[in-house]
Structure 1
Amino acid sequence: MTITQLKYALAIAEHKNFTKAAEKCFVTQPTLSTQIQKLEDELDIVIFDRGKKPIELTEVGRKIVFQARNIVNEADRIQDIVDQQKGFIGGEFRLGIIPTIMPTLLPMFLNNFIKKYPKVKLKIEELTTEEIIARINDGHIDAAIAATPLESDNIKERPLYYEPFVAYVPTNHRLRDRKTLEVSDLEIEDMLLLEDGHCFREGVINLCKAFKNQEDEHFQLESGSIETLIKLSNEGMGMTLLPYLHTQDISDKYSSNLKHFIEPSPAREVSLIYHKSELKMQIINAMHDLISSVIRGAIAFSNVEIISPLAK
C-alpha cells in the first residue's frame, strides 16, 4: 500500500463520494477508483460499501481509515521536520476562527502576517468551537483561534490574550445608572443572548447568577450576531454582554451604554489551539508571536477572572 492510496481513502471517507474525493485530490475519478481497488485487493477486504448512497465505510473500513489518518499525519511530520530544520515558514495552513473573534481579531493581524510570511498560503474558515475540535481531530484544519479552556485531551492551547466582558446597557434599563457592575447584578431573564452553538453564549450563561425556567420567561430572544444584539438592545429589548474588542467599534452616540465590571473583570481566554501531534509548529509559533505583539497594544487587562466557554 502507498501513502497516496491512504490519502485517497481519507478523501472518500470525508466526502462519501468518489467524484468529489477525486476533485479534492486533484486526480481523475478513474485514477482514484483504481488505486482504492488495488488497496482493497491487497488487503483482501472491502473498505467502502459502494451500494450505499452516499458511500459508507464498512466496519473494517472504519478501523482502516482511523489508522490511515494516523499514518498520513506521521508521514506529513517528516516534511514538517525538514521544514523546521531549514527554518522554512511556508506552505498551506488551514486556520479556523470562532464567529465572535473573527471580525475583530482578523483585521488586526492578517495583513501583517501575509506581508511578513508571504510563502504561507492561509486558508481561513469561520467555525463554531464544536466544529473546530472535530476538524482539528480529523486533520482538516491545522490550528484555530478560540475561547479556552476546552478540556480536550488531543488539543494543545496557547493563550493569546484575555478579553474582558463588557455590559451593554440601554436607556431605561434597571442597571443604567450604575457606573460599574458586579457579576451578581446580572440576571439571565433580561439578557439578550447569542443563539445556541456560540461559546460566548455559554460564557455569558456561566457568568450569570440567576436562572429561570424558560417556560416562565415572557420571551427569549437569541441572535446569530453580536451586531444584532446591540441593535435589539438599543430598541429596549434588554441588555447584552460584549467581548471587549467589539466595544471599540461602538459609536460615540452609544458609548455611554457600555458598563465595565469591577475587578477582577470576568473575561474569556482566547488561545491559538492545535493538535497534540504539533504539525506545522513553525507557522503556529510565527502566528502566535505576531498576534501576541499586535494585541498587546489593544488589550492591557491583567486582573481578570476567566469564564469557561463550555456548557455547564
Structure 2
Amino acid sequence: MTKGNHSLVTEFILSGLTEKPELQLPLFLLFLGIYVFTVMGNLGMIILIGLSSSLHTPMYYLLSSLSFIDLSYSTVITPKMLINFMREKNVISYTECMTQLYFFLVFGISECYMLAAMAYDRYIAICNPLLYSVTMSPQVCCLMVAGVYSMGLVGATTHTVCMLKVLFCKENIINDFFCELSPLLELSCSSTFINEVLLLCFSAFNVLLPTLTIVPSYIFILASILRIRSTSGRSKAVSTCSSHLSAVAAFFGSGAFMYLQPSSSNSMDQGKVSSVFYTIVVPMLNPLIYSLRNKDVKVALCKIFQKYQSSLKYHILLL
C-alpha cells in the first residue's frame, strides 16, 4: 500500500456487527427503523420546542440542544453502517475514518457536558427557584451551550491530531462497525503510549467532571424535594428530573462500561454491544423519554395538533 497522511494504510475494513450473511438484511432493517425513529424523534423535538412559546425556557433550550447532538451523533455513525450492511466488503478510506472519528468524539463528548448542564439547570429550578430567571438567563444558557461544544471540539481535536501521527502498516481490519479509538489503536505499528494515556485521561475527565456536576446537583435536588410538603409539588419536581436521570443513566452507564476499564479485560464483543447502545439506541431513547414522561411536552404537542386541525378545517371550509 502507498503512503499517505502519515500512514501506509489508505483504507480500513470494518468488521461490522456480524459475519453471518443471513443476519445482514434483518440488522439493516432493524437499524434503519431505529435511525428513522431517531431522526423523527429528535428533529420533532427541536421543531416542537421552536414552535411552542410555552417551551421557550432554559430547560427546553438545553433539551433542543441535546436533541441536535443526538441527531448529529447518530448520523455520524448509522448511515455508514447501513451502507455496509449492503456490501460484501465494508471499506472506509483513511480520510473518511479520521473524519468519522473526529465528529463522533465532538458529539459524544458534547453530550456528556450537555447532560451536566441540564442537571445544573434542574438544580437551580428546584433548589433556587426565585433566582432561576437570573441564574439561567438567555445569555448564561448560550454560554453554557458554547462551553459544551468547546469541550467537545477540544477533546476531539486532541484525540484526532494524535491519531493522525499513528502509523498503520499492514493490519487494516477494524474490529468494530465504525472508526473507534480503541480498535484503531490496536492496529497501529508505531507506539501508542501517548494515545492510550490521553484516551484514559480524557475518558476519565469527560465522565468524572460531568458526574461531579450531576451527582451533587441531584443530592441537593433530593433534599429539596423531601422538604416539599404538597404531594403535587413533589410529583412535579420528580417528573421534571426523572427523564433527565434516565438519559444520564443510559448514556454514562454504557459509555463508562466501554471506556473506563483496562483494555486487557475489555471484550470486543461486549464493546460492540456497548457501542451500539450509546451511539445508536440512546439517541433514539432520549426524545422518547422526554416526550412520554414530560407533561409540558405532551401539552405543547396537543396544542400544535389542535392548531393544525383548526387551520386545516378553516382551509377546507374556504374551499
Q: TM-score, normalised by structure 1?
A: 0.22
Under a length normalisation based on structure 2, what TM-score does the superposition of the two structures give? 0.21
Query: Which one has a larger percent strand, Structure 1 or Structure 2?
Result: 1
Structure with more relative contact order (C-alpha pairs < 8 Å, separation 6 or more): 2
* Structure ranking higher in helix proportion: 2
